[in-house]
């Protein structure tokens, strides 16, 4: 419900969400922008609903949730910053900037969110698209921002990049415990039904404090209260680890991601060969041919447009494009064979990959299209670059991993579940080649690479 620029609504994750003060009216104003409304048509988790049927939530709801968490963060900082000099405090202008940046941080995402840029790595990243949208005078977002302040688009883009004169505000937009992660972990856990992806947001925010400036005249940095904040950041870190392990790296989700990447790669190959592909969205064609696209064309893209294109690709004269599209549309996904033990080592992965490619070739499948080595990676915990510290009453500052036993054990560890992606028609042959008696059955469990493991350097994402 909106009234005179203010907004009150119900959110399934945060409950009652409101933007009612003058500095918060930037949020309901920006929600009127076409570029923000477009996020209603972009799924937050891409094709993850093929594995978790409830995961149909949008980037729009996540953007709103992120702005709400930023509002809570602002309230917390103001409660503890009374002794700061005026120039280091969160003024109404800075609070407005932060709320706008939180809402717009992902406005540049393409269809299926991260999946689109992974499938078309030749094109600009979503961060680049976000800044283009904010800074382009033709967009609704830019016009709304400049109505408040002509310099506001520039400041919002700086915050999206994690840059600000107040380090604690920059870290809230882009950092280990930023408002983006704070919302998407809870939101993705809610809609996938994964209960262990939840953590105590209220206690985490209550644990934030400000560390003294590291040099004279500098602004304070964001810190965690050492007397009561460790359980909050530990549960946050575990929630993130579990979400990657069980949701973001789910084999059905990774398989569908792989198929989208192969479909768009096939489209690009056909276009570069001079062949016409019916139903290709203009922006996809331009990115495929020129590695970029006009902003107007890019903003026409959403999940519905891409899904319509995929439906059309089923009737393509190109047999590979037609087959892959039919499989994806009807959820006849390529299979994922998980590798464990010695088979998960760099040498083992390559050996298994070659075996799968040979089997595919013999069965008449193009191994460059239908077979892949999928090895996504995720750092379990890394505090080497983040300036957020743990602050104790005697003003001692330590890194979280130096204080928490749990975080010290997770520091430097990398979650990496390697899999072979292959056509289901090869299931029996592949299992016979890599199954009983093979070292792939040595160990069952999440594949964790240690900080000094040789596997860590060679693990990669194929998308």
Mean pLDDT of all residues in 117-125 = 90
pTM: 0.91
Q: Using alpha carbons, list the distances in angstroms from residue 81 to 74, 75, 264.
A: 10, 10, 50
Mean pLDDT of all residues in 216-227 = 87
Tens digit of each residue's pLDDT (9 = 90 or more) over 2-32:
434 689 999 999 999 999 999 999 999 999 9
pLDDT of residue 458: 35
What pLDDT band is residue 447 in, cutting at 50, 70 and 90?
low
Q: Using alpha carbons, list the distances in angstroms from residue 168 to 117, 223, 335.
A: 30, 8, 45
Q: Which of 79-93, 151-165, 310-324 has the lowest mean pLDDT?
A: 79-93
Q: Compute the distance between CA of residue 85 and CA of residue 396 in angstroms, rounded to an integer.
A: 22
Rounded-to-10 torsion of CA 88, 92, 94, 96? 160
Q: Has residue 437 got a pLDDT over 80?
A: no
pLDDT of residue 449: 52
Q: Has residue 269 got a pLDDT over 70?
A: yes
What interhelical angle do 319-329 and 303-313 show, nearest 10?
A: 130
| DSSP code string of 283-331 | HHHHHHHHS---HHHHTT--HHHHHHHHHHHTT-SSHHHHHHHHHHHTT
Q: Has residue 376 got a pLDDT over 90?
A: yes
Q: Has residue 462 got a pLDDT over 50?
A: no
R_g (Cα) of the chain, nearest Å: 24
Mean pLDDT of all residues in 242-249 = 95
pLDDT of residue 453: 45
Q: Has residue 97 got a pLDDT over 80?
A: yes
Contact between 360 and 370 (Cβ < 8 Å): yes
Mean pLDDT of all residues in 407-412 = 94
Tens digit of each residue's pLDDT (9 = 90 or more) over 353-365:
999 999 999 999 9
Mean pLDDT of all residues in 295-306 = 96
Q: Has residue 452 got a pLDDT over 80?
A: no
Q: Using alpha carbons, list the distances in angstroms from residue 391 to 172, 224, 400.
A: 17, 6, 10
Q: And the tokens for 18?
A: 């409101």
What pLDDT band is residue 212 in, cutting at 50, 70 and 90?
confident
Q: Compute the distance between CA of residue 141 and CA of residue 38 in angstroms, rounded to an integer.
A: 12
Q: Which of 113-117, 230-234, 277-281, 438-442 has the lowest mean pLDDT?
A: 438-442
pLDDT of residue 356: 97
Q: Determine the 3-state secondary structure of 57 from DSSP.
A: coil
Q: And the tokens for 309?
A: 């294109």
User: Which domains can be identified in the chain, with CATH numbers?
Assistant: 2-249+379-410 (1.10.3210.10), 334-377+416-463 (no CATH)
pLDDT of residue 439: 41
Q: And the tokens for 129?
A: 């698209």
Q: Has residue 199 got a pLDDT over 80?
A: yes
Q: Has residue 463 got a pLDDT over 60?
A: no
pLDDT of residue 326: 98
Q: Using alpha carbons, list the distances in angstroms from residue 57 to 52, 113, 196, 328, 411.
A: 11, 12, 19, 20, 31
Mean pLDDT of all residues in 416-432 = 95
Run of H or E including 71: helix 59-80
Contact between 109 and 126 (Cβ < 8 Å): yes
SS3 helix, strand, coil % of the chain, rounded to 5?
Answer: 55, 10, 35
- Helix locations, 136-229, DSSP H: 140-148, 152-160, 167-173, 179-192, 201-207
To the nearest whole percent, how much of the chain has pLDDT over 90? 80
The mean pLDDT of the chain is 90
What pLDDT band is residue 104 in, cutting at 50, 70 and 90?
very high
């Amino acid at each position: 419900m909106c009234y005179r620029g203010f907004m009150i609504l119900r959110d399934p994750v945060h409950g009652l969400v409101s933007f009612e003060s003058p500095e918060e009216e930037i949020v309901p104003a920006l929600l009127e922008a076409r570029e923000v409304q477009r996020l209603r048509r972009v799924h937050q988790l891409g094709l993850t609903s093929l594995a978790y049927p409830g995961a149909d939530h949008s980037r729009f709801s996540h953007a709103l949730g992120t702005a709400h968490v930023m509002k809570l963060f602002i309230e917390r900082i103001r409660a503890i910053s009374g002794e700061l000099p005026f120039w280091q405090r969160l003024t109404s202008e800075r609070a407005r900037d932060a709320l706008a940046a939180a809402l717009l941080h992902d406005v540049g995402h393409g269809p299926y969110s991260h999946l689109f840029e992974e499938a078309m790595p030749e094109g600009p990243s979503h961060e680049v698209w976000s800044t283009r949208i904010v800074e382009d005078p033709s967009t609704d977002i830019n016009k709304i921002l400049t109505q408040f302040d002509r310099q506001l688009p520039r400041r919002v883009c700086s915050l999206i990049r994690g840059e600000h004169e107040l380090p604690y505000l920059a870290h809230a937009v882009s950092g280990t415990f930023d408002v983006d992660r704070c919302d998407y972990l809870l939101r993705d856990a809610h809609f996938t039904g994964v209960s262990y992806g939840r953590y105590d947001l209220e206690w985490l925010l209550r644990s934030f404090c400000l560390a003294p400036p590291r040099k004279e005249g500098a602004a304070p940095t964001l810190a965690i209260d050492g007397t009561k904040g460790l359980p909050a950041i530990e549960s946050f870190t575990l929630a993130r680890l579990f979400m990657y392990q069980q949701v973001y790296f789910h084999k059905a989700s990774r398989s569908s991601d792989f198929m989208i990447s192969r479909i768009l790669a096939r489209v690009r190959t056909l276009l570069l060969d001079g062949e016409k592909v019916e139903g290709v969205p203009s922006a996809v064609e331009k990115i495929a041919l020129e590695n970029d696209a006009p902003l107007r064309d890019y903003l026409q893209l959403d999940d519905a447009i891409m899904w319509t294109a995929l439906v059309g690709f089923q009737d393509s004269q190109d047999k590979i494009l037609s087959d892959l599209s039919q499989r994806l549309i009807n959820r006849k996904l390529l299979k994922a064979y998980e590798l464990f033990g010695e088979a998960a080592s760099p040498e083992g992965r390559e050996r298994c990959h070659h075996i799968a490619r040979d089997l595919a070739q013999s069965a008449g499948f193009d191994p460059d299209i239908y077979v892949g080595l999928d090895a996504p990676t995720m750092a379990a915990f890394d505090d080497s670059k983040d300036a957020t510290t743990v602050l104790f009453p005697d003003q001692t500052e330590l890194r979280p991993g130096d204080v928490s036993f749990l975080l010290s054990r997770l520091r430097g560890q990398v979650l990496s579940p390697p899999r072979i992606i292959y056509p289901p028609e090869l299931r029996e042959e592949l299992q016979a080649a890599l199954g009983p008696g093979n070292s792939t059955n040595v160990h069952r469990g999440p594949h964790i690479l240690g900080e000094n493991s040789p596997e860590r350097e060679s693990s990669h994402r194929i998308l």
